[in-house]
Structure formats: structure tokens, C-alpha cells
Amino acid sequence: MNNIHELFEQFIDRFKRWAKKQDDIRGAYILGSRARKETPADEWSDLDLPIITSDPDRYISDISWLDNLGKHCLTFLEKTGTGREIERRVLFEGGLDVDFPIIPYDLLKNHTLSPLDIIMLNRGYRILVDKDKELAAIVRGLPEPPEPVHPSLDEFDNNVNDFLYHAILAVKKFKRGELFYAKSVCDSYMKRLLLSMISWHARAKHGLNYDVWHDGRFLEKWAEPEFVDGLKKTYAIYSARDFPRALRETMNLFRRIAVETAEMLGYQYPDKGDKYTVSIIKDYLNRK
């Protein structure tokens, strides 16, 4: 059987030949692991292949165009990481996982790039199709990624208060019998706030240029090992008996990281709000 990297390269060649014949496709390029040198693609990597088109609806509302690229087994739509565009995600035969962000041509001509776009392009790109030389012009003048900054005191306090508020909300839903909702708050919403605090801690300790990636990517490589280890205890099984333990471990880990981060940044951790939250949660959990 062909190596997965060879299969992807064959797919890329097939896509290029097809895309060049489509009048509406003005550009296409590769982002992500299959274009970057640092942390390059491995056998588990997908292919991020944005399509710049004057007819975006063709690729969003219809799937017949996929037949030109190979036999597909699954396909669905979702928003891109920036939240501005729609991408069609496709699983082709052979396990080829390809994401096609659909970028309207007008957007490209306006050269509107989000901070995340700039960060990802600076990590590496590979132009496949550039009929109007727009892509080449953009990347030649690509600005440096925005300079990272430490969170302001207001941002720090907002993160902590948001976390504590939702800890109480999770317990309320749990006591009502809404275990699924309660777990979702603890294991998703609160974990995103925890992730932000972990990244702030990393840059407070190692410097603003320390690479924390985005969305928790490669967290196991850049976060403090004891924090990664601590995450093991913060997720609950779907059990009313286990939920309070997981919530408590999540709060304890968050508090530890937030207190250390506050000390390094010269901020004051809001102990009063934390203690009040803990007292309310204890009272709620003890109620019959």
C-alpha cells in the first residue's frame, strides 16, 4: 500500500490539474502541517487546502465537484477556525482527510486577513494555483504575526470570574439533574478558560515569544508537565458520583495556575470571589 504522504501528494497533483480548469477558482494553497517545516506532517495529519473562488456557493451547497478528486466517504460543513468562512471537510477513500476552506474571491482582493490567518501563513504555506497573481502579492507583503502581549488585569480578572461563575452554573445544572449539561460546562467551557490561563502562564514564565500555538495544539509539548499531568484528574465519567470530584479538580488546577500567573504578572488573584464561589458550591452540593 502506498505511503500516506505519497497518497496526499498524488491527491494534491490531481487537485491542481482539476482546479486550473475551473474558471471560478482563482487560487488555492496549502496551510498547516503539510506546508510548514516546524512540526511537519506525520501519518495522522490532514490536508488544509483553501479554495479561492468567485462562486463559493458551488462548493458549499453542492458536493458533485468532489467526484473529480476521488471517492469520498464522508463530507460536512463547518466554520473555519477564524469563524469567518465555511469549510467543507471531506474524508476520501484511503483515509485522506482534506479540509477545503471556501474563500470568496472578493475577500482575497480586499486582503483582509485575521490574526490567526497571519500566524498560520507565517508558519508555512504552499501555493498551488494563483491565476491572478493575487496570492503571491499577498504573501510577499505578509505582515509579521501580531506581537503577543500579556493579558491585561481586566482580561485576567474577567477570565477568573467567568470560570468561577460557570463553576457555580455547572453545579446548579448538576443538582437539577442535568448531568450532560453540567459536564459540558465543566469539560468544555471551563476547560477553554483553563487553556487560556495555561497559555498565559507559559508566556509569563518563558517570555512573550514562547510558542503556545492555538486551540491547545501540541499543548503536551509547551505547557508545564505538571499541568498536563493535572489535567488527567479534571474530567469526569458520565456519573453523578464522579462529577463533583472532576469539578473540584478542575477548580484546584485552575486556581493553582491562575495564582502563579498573577504573581508573575504582578496581579492580585481575586481570593474573595474564589472563596465565595467555593462556599456556594459546597452548600449546593450538600443539599438533599
Segment (H or E) for 107? helix 105-109
Give SS3 for 6.
helix
Whole-number CA gyration radius for the chain? 23
Q: Tell how far CA 9 is from the center of its chain.
A: 25
pLDDT class for 110, splitting at 50, 70, 90? low
Is the model's pTM score more than 0.75? yes
Segment (H or E) for 234? none
β-strand partners of 78: 87
Contact 240, 131 (CB under 8 A): no
What is the distance between the alpha carbons of residues 33 and 213, in angstroms, rounded to a whole number?
A: 13
Q: Tell how far CA 32 is from the center of its chain.
A: 12
* CA angle in degrees (0–180, nearest 5) for 112-115-118: 75
Q: What local confidence, expressed as pLDDT, does residue 106 receive?
A: 82
CATH number given to 153-286? 1.20.120.330
Helices and strands, counts by H and E, the chain: 12, 7
Contact 218, 158 (CB under 8 A): no
Segment 233-242 shows an average pLDDT of: 95
DSSP 33-86: GGT-SSS---TT--EE--EEES-THHHHS--GGGGGT--EEEEEEEE-TTSSSE
Percent of the chain whose pLDDT exceeds 90:
73
pLDDT of 42 > 90? The answer is no
pLDDT class for 62, splitting at 50, 70, 90? very high
* Count of residues making up the chain: 288
pLDDT class for 167, splitting at 50, 70, 90? very high
Is CATH 1.10.40.50 correct for 4-140?
Answer: no
Kindly list the distances between the CA atom of residue 205 and the CA atoms of 74, 150, 223, in Å, as whole numbers in the listed order: 43, 11, 11
What is the distance between the alpha carbons of residues 5 and 212, in angstroms, rounded to a whole number?
A: 27
Domain range summary for the chain, segments of one domain joined by +: 4-140, 153-286
Kindly list the distances between the CA atom of residue 113 and the CA atoms of 24, 85, 212, 238, in Å, as whole numbers in the listed order: 21, 12, 21, 41
Q: Which residues, at least 6 apart from 135, have a Cβ–Cβ distance to it below 8 Å? A: 27, 29, 52, 108, 127
Q: Which residues, at least 6 apart from 255, have a Cβ–Cβ distance to it below 8 Å? A: 269, 274
Instruction: Name the residue among 191, 188, 193, 206 with its Cα closest to residue 157.
Output: 193
Instruction: Name the residue among 139, 112, 119, 113 with its Cα closest to residue 29.
Output: 139
Kindly list the distances between the CA atom of residue 190 and the CA atoms of 6, 111, 147, 153, 240, in Å, as whole numbers in the listed order: 40, 35, 26, 19, 18
What is the distance between the alpha carbons of residues 123 and 105, in angstroms, rounded to a whole number?
A: 23
pLDDT class for 1, splitting at 50, 70, 90? very low
Joined together, the cell numbers standing for residue 277 give: 464561589
pLDDT of 69 > 80? The answer is yes
